[in-house]
Amino acid sequence: MLVDKILSDGFAIYEHEDAEVVECSALVNLPVLVKIMRLGFVKAVFAFCVLLFVLPAFAQTPAAAKPIDQLKQKLEQISSGVSADWGIYIKSLDSGEEIAINADKTMDTMSTIKIPLMVDVYRQVDAGKINTADRFVMKTADKRFGTGVLQNLDPGLSLTVRDALELMIIQSDNSGTDMAFARAGGPAHVTQTMRELGLNSITATGTSFDWFLALAAAGDPAYAKFGPEELFTKGFPDKLTDADVERFHFEGKHPYGLSNARDMGKLLELIATNKAASEKSCKEMLRMMGQQQMRTRIPRFLSDDVDTPHKTGDFPPYIANDIGFIDTPNARVVVVFFSAHHRGYYSELEDAIGRMSEQVWAYFNYRPAAK
């Protein structure tokens, strides 16, 4: 008995001495097939038939990936298509399903640190230490560069604490942020509050003024001696180059704030479950987040009827952060997207967050509600 030939489609043809031809499927490999042939024609056919029935019973079928793991793979695929470092945390507050991608890596929060600041203020409101209806007068020394409208308004404007908080969240107003820091007791008090909540990676590293002063000094060290009013009046130094700004970011010596994605997600969960502060205060914080005007990331590809209370953080083109919630009829989902060291078009970074958010919404919107 000889193997006559091996066909390209994986079948072996062998010929018996009395010219009978048997075609054998390649369910068994060739060495096994040859050994079977040596048994003699009748025994070989019998053995081969046994193998045809027995082998499938022992075949290893790969376990299908869980749906939540498939979602994780999609998020990894989208994020890997952008030249940036990522920290991502997703959690359904209904089913408990969770995704963590580099979620324990401490990263620069940029303006998402304003959520911990807001929590600290409202905990002090609950304790009777701060009244959000209290008024104060804005001075030139209160004005900050970057996002927000207050820097463009005249000194002497009367504001409430709630006004400053509202603008800090919905416009990421840096002037309002430092007004809130001043009334909360400064960055150190915010950090201590986060430790009391068990969120050990969340650190308020400084005020908006501290960050802008460090950036200005990266271009001209003489600026390091400036106070708030002098810095705002004089503006950034002409010597500050794009290379200085890039080095400022990549050296990472002056983060606006620090957290890992998991701890920031836990803080959002505490707000959603009325555990970060009183129920009244938590609802007020969620209301503010729901008024967010920066809608180029989490809500980017979602329809207008999808609620996405959230807070952004920016340092173009290197950092585009967004944290908050995606609400569906079946679930409220915590979403945290941190990024850093991005090179390329800023819109690609924002698009990636938008596409990942779209995948999260689709997964939880079309799956059965948790029981």
Q: Give the burial class of 344: count Cβ atoms within 10 A of its Cβ; 0-12 exposed, 13-18 middle, 19 or more buried.
A: exposed
Q: How far apart are CA 370 and CA 98, in angstroms?
A: 14
How far apart are the C-alpha atoms of 123 and 340, rounded to whole Å?
A: 30
Give CA separation, 239 vs 37, 116, 216, 248, 316, in Å. Answer: 84, 34, 9, 14, 19
State the virtual CA torsion across 256, 262, 266, 271 in degrees, nearest 10.
Answer: 50
Q: Which residue has the tokens 């793991």?
A: 69
**Is residue 232 a contact partner of residue 175, using CB atoms and an 8 Å limit?**
no
CB-based contact 170:149 (threshold 8 Å): no
Task: Indicate whether 363 pLDDT > 50.
Answer: yes
Pairing of strands 332-340, 319-327: antiparallel
Task: Note the pLDDT tens digit of each residue in 122-173.
Answer: 999 999 999 999 999 999 999 999 999 999 999 999 999 999 999 999 999 9
Q: pTM for this one?
A: 0.83
Q: Which of 30-34, 203-207, 217-221, 339-343 has the lowest mean pLDDT?
A: 30-34
Q: What is the pLDDT of residue 370?
A: 57
Q: Which residue has the higher pLDDT, 31 or 112?
A: 112
Reduced to 3 states (helix: H, G, I; strand: E, B; else coil), residue 3 is: strand
